[in-house]
Structure 1
Amino acid sequence: MWEYFDEEVFVHLPSELQTLLLRTAPLSKINAQMINQLCNTDNGEALLAQLNKQSNLIIKLPKQCSWYTCNSFFKSFLMHKSKQQNVQHLSDTEIAYLLLDQQQLAEALPHAIRSADQDLIIELLQQGGWALFHDGQFNHLQACFNLIKQVIMQYPELVILKAWMLQSHHQHYKVAPFIKQAEKVFNKLNLKLSQEMLSEFMVIKAQISINQGRISDALTQAQATLSYLPNPSARTSIIAQTIIGEAYHCLGKLDLAYQYFQEVLDLASEQDMFQSIIWSLYQQAEILQAQSLHQKAEEHLQKAIDLIKLHHLESLPLYAFPLHYKVQRAYQAGQFELAEELCKKAIEVLKPQDEQWLLYTYTLQAKIALEQEQQADILIAEIERLLRNQNYHTDWIASANYARLKYWRINNDIAAIEKWLQQAPRPASALNHFDQCHNRNLIRAYIKLGLFDEALEIAQKNMCDAQACQLQMEINRNLILLTSIETKLQKYSKAKRTLTSSG
């Protein structure tokens, strides 16, 4: 068929068109500007129109009127013919630069990666790195970073991009040393950062602070970012306000945190920063849940999931957060089969990531298994292993310790509980759900050991903190524990009053 097509169609085309087609055969799409550049002509539009008219050898792309593509048979023929005639195709580097000149980032990207040309990849990242980030194309970003290696340290804007990519994968423990290493290189090269770039580094340091549990530092740094520059970039402002929202959430200022996340939601929607939109909705759902506003929380969560699916972000670790939330809700409702199905879905999302991501899902699976009196030994062993080898947010540590304690209490492993108490987290205050959980872990351990006075002291303080911050879900959980402790201390009248107040 190729021979027939050659004899009946191709040879009858003007030589100028033949040369053009063979030279551009590897391109997925072409426009007049590219033709003019490649063929040293100013007649690109007419040539494309002629080809389009002639037996539909090329066709216009829908919704991209200035762009054309070959039909698949014709493209195969051209590749075959160019090989026969030893036509030298454009290299991946040349194709990538052509497409970049036309702002066709998605099409340029695979050619740039195949080229392994560091200068080209740096230009591509400078031009469209944030677009790739917001579109969730982390694998492509990582491939680019792998190719430019330590050269990245000469480009502060790319250092920031990589730092946020690490943060989006919740590889918190990698972000701080990476930034520290970059700043040493900047000093060595005597690189002077602009005010805007300094604000970029300030906001990533605020994120590092919140990762490390230094909430007051994070709040100060993020607020300084907003006030330091008169016109910070939209992205910097959005990230800073996200961190402020997270800080206020940690400090138990739920209404204020919710307001900041609403502002982030509005600003991120204007900028099509879909991951920021989804994260804000998820954080708002958690705040509403803490206030026992379950229906509104579910509505926010569903909006986040709908956006993830609409923008095809299901492969991002971000998707695991709403899935985990739904697992917890199903677990609390006694819907264990549904909870387990959702855990499996979360594992599918997280398996391509670092294994550290599996800790929280394993924790949820262990809780489900223990509640149904099923074997959880393997899951608990995996949780123990991951806790030893990874760095985690205090929220995940609190949940993992809850599962471990539940397992030890069921198996009457007093030695394990006593050993855990020696190094257990002991927050100075409990103004959020994870510090509340840390304290309840301590309370349950002391109850199991028969140390009811110690348990009561922590429970009363936990209740005061929960009430001060209006953490209604935590208040309810604390009331149950207080009733249990007071009963064990034979304070029956007080236990009855506590139980009544929980209604």
Structure 2
Amino acid sequence: GQRIKADVEPQVLHTLHSQVEGWPSALQLIALHAQQKPQHLAQSVLSMAQFNRGHLWDYLAEEVFDQLDDETQQFLLQCSVLDTFNAVLVTELTGYCDSLAKLEALNRFGLFLTTLDSDDNWYRFHNLFAEFLNHQRHSRLPEQQDQLHTLAAQAWLKQNSPQQALAHALKGQNEQLTVDIIVEHGWRLFHHGELKLLEGAISALSRDALFSTPRLALLRAWLAQSQHQYDDVGALLNEAEIEMTHRNITLDDGLQGEFNALRAQVAINQNNPQEALELSELSLGQLPSNTYRSRIVATSVVGEVHHCIGNLNRALPMMQQTEKLARQYHVYHQALWALIQQSEILVAQGYVQAAFELLEQAFKLIREQHLQQVPLHEFVLRLKAQILWCWNRLDEAEECAQKSLDVLAPFEDKYSLHAYSMLTRIALTRGELDKAARYLTLCDELM
């Protein structure tokens, strides 16, 4: 207020607030910058985003960082490898047993810490200061980068947070730790929708690391299956089989059963119900009784086979059983798929209201298990749009079709065909022929 006399636009204030988070030194820096140059404050704020980071880092080093004792400097640089942290995490990372006292002291002196809404004293650094510390860490501790990320990964594992642990193992280029985390926690991450993280981690592995551990190769194929890459799954399984043979790796019956369960899913995707049924039954015979996920998959495929051949009275109870088991053992992708299948079967049997209510259960599962970015979410939206269209609730149907396009945005355009087909039908029902023609043109391009 004392340094800047001009009126300040609310939007400029909002931008300032989000950038500096109330940090006085940064506000002072912006004020000085605005004073020295006869320009509007908004330009000064804009220049903060494009600010010569070298100047900013020099200012922070001289005015703040270099004033601290060596131990506190080291502590801050080590902590900066973490986006959020508490005393337990920081103790694991730094080895300082008085981490809580150090964090509380830093917070008390206003040293760029923000307390997060939590009962466990979680913190993070102010955005600009976090960026500064990252810069300092890379320049002052270059040889410690990988070690710090490895320590961070191990610390997050002790906090039962494999998602954060895997991200740090990747940044630390620690392949063995990456493998260990995926083998131990990969399916948990998969079932909670962390598909992109897993895909990135597996793609970063060497071929030896990938194919020397059959479960990694299997998970890689499931990631493709769950992200609309149906045409790739069979090829990935065949590649895994060849690579494992080259490495003299023999699968035991249980693991072979897991591979066969996915091969059965591939067969049903390719409209080969007889092969799917044979592979499912083979898989169920090979799998131990406690290999729940693959037994659920195999049971689901048998239900799908009955659905495909029109044996709906057998398909429905099998899908109900699949859903029950999938929920019980936290295999949420399969639970969602079973709900979708049940809804389709009920529509085919003429029980449209019951089918609609099942879709509402599917949306509830998506929200509870954070599956919004999983492609099956699009399938649920598509089915709901079809039912709403049948009931002439066109605005709601259109909203569902548009949402399904949002879900599919990260994937190839060809998967949007169903959504545009639905939008075409809605436009035709409204008599909006020009709009319908535009959607039809899009459908032609996608086919």
The normalised TM-score by structure 1 is 0.66
- Indicate whether 1:141 and 2:198 are aligned: yes
Q: Following the alignment from structure 2 to structure 1, what is the Cα–Cα distance between the partners of residues 125 and 151?
A: 24
Please show how residues 106-185 of structure 1 align to structure 2 within 5 Å: 106-148=163-205, 150-151=207-208, 152-185=210-243
- Indicate whether 1:86 and 2:147 are aligned: no
Question: Alpha carbon RMSD of aligned pairs, Å?
Answer: 3.4
Query: Contact 2:89–2:155 (CA<8 Å) still a contact in 1?
Result: no
How many residue pairs match? The answer is 377
**Paired residue for 1:404?**
none
Q: Secondary structure at the match of 1:213?
A: coil
**Matching residue's letter, 2:164:** E
Q: Secondary structure at the match of 2:281?
A: helix
Q: Which of these residues, 16, 19, 23, is aligned with residue 78 of structure 2?
A: 23
Deviations 1:338-385 (A, max 9, x none): 333322221122122112211211222333344436144444444344
Deviations 1:385-427 (A, max 9, x none): 433xxxxxxxxxxxxxxxxxxxxxxxxxxxxxxxxxxxxxxxx
Query: CA distance change for structure 1 residues 332 and 150 in 2, over 3 Å: closer, same or farther?
Result: same
- Indicate whether 1:35 and 2:91 are aligned: yes
Q: Following the alignment from structure 2 to structure 1, what is the Cα–Cα distance between the partners of residues 167 and 398?
A: 38
* Runs (4+) off by over 6 Å: 2-8, 58-64
Query: Contact 2:162–2:185 (CA<8 Å) still a contact in 1?
Result: yes
Deviations 1:17-57 (A, max 9, x none): 66444433322325547636744xxx72xx12432553646
The alpha-carbon deviation at position 62 of structure 1 amounts to 6.7
Q: Following the alignment from structure 2 to structure 1, what is the Cα–Cα distance between the partners of residues 280 and 196?
A: 29
Query: Contact 1:24–1:89 (CA<8 Å) still a contact in 2?
Result: no
The alpha-carbon deviation at position 203 of structure 1 amounts to 0.4
The alpha-carbon deviation at position 326 of structure 1 amounts to 1.8
Q: Which of these residues, 240, 249, 253, is aligned with residue 195 of structure 1?
A: 253
The alpha-carbon deviation at position 201 of structure 1 amounts to 0.7
**Paired residue for 1:352?**
410
Q: Secondary structure at the match of 2:433?
A: coil
- Identical aligned pairs, as a percentage? 26
Q: Following the alignment from structure 1 to structure 2, what is the Cα–Cα distance between the partners of residues 181 and 351?
A: 29
The alpha-carbon deviation at position 204 of structure 1 amounts to 0.8
Q: Secondary structure at the match of 2:370?
A: coil
The alpha-carbon deviation at position 270 of structure 1 amounts to 2.5
**Paired residue for 1:222?**
280
The alpha-carbon deviation at position 278 of structure 1 amounts to 1.7
**Paired residue for 1:263?**
321
Query: CA distance change for structure 1 residues 294 and 81 in 2, over 3 Å: closer, same or farther?
Result: closer
Q: Secondary structure at the match of 1:91?
A: helix
Q: Following the alignment from structure 2 to structure 1, what is the Cα–Cα distance between the partners of residues 119 and 364?
A: 28
**Matching residue's letter, 1:108:** A
- Indicate whether 1:235 and 2:235 are aligned: no
Query: CA distance change for structure 1 residues 93 and 164 in 2, over 3 Å: closer, same or farther?
Result: farther
Query: CA distance change for structure 1 residues 178 and 289 in 2, over 3 Å: closer, same or farther?
Result: same
The alpha-carbon deviation at position 301 of structure 1 amounts to 0.6
Query: Contact 1:26–1:89 (CA<8 Å) still a contact in 2?
Result: no
**Matching residue's letter, 1:26:** V
**Matching residue's letter, 1:54:** A
**Paired residue for 1:374?**
433
**Matching residue's letter, 2:446:** L
Query: CA distance change for structure 1 residues 80 and 386 in 2, over 3 Å: closer, same or farther?
Result: closer
**Paired residue for 2:338?**
280
Query: Contact 2:346–2:352 (CA<8 Å) still a contact in 1?
Result: yes
Q: Following the alignment from structure 2 to structure 1, what is the Cα–Cα distance between the partners of residues 230 and 135?
A: 52
Q: Following the alignment from structure 1 to structure 2, what is the Cα–Cα distance between the partners of residues 114 and 382?
A: 41
**Paired residue for 2:364?**
306
Query: CA distance change for structure 1 residues 48 and 305 in 2, over 3 Å: closer, same or farther?
Result: same
Unpaired stretches in structure 1, ≥5 consecutive residues: 388-503
Q: Following the alignment from structure 2 to structure 1, what is the Cα–Cα distance between the partners of residues 317 and 134?
A: 61
Query: CA distance change for structure 1 residues 140 and 85 in 2, over 3 Å: closer, same or farther?
Result: closer
Give the number of the structure whose alpha-carbon radius of gyration is greater.
1
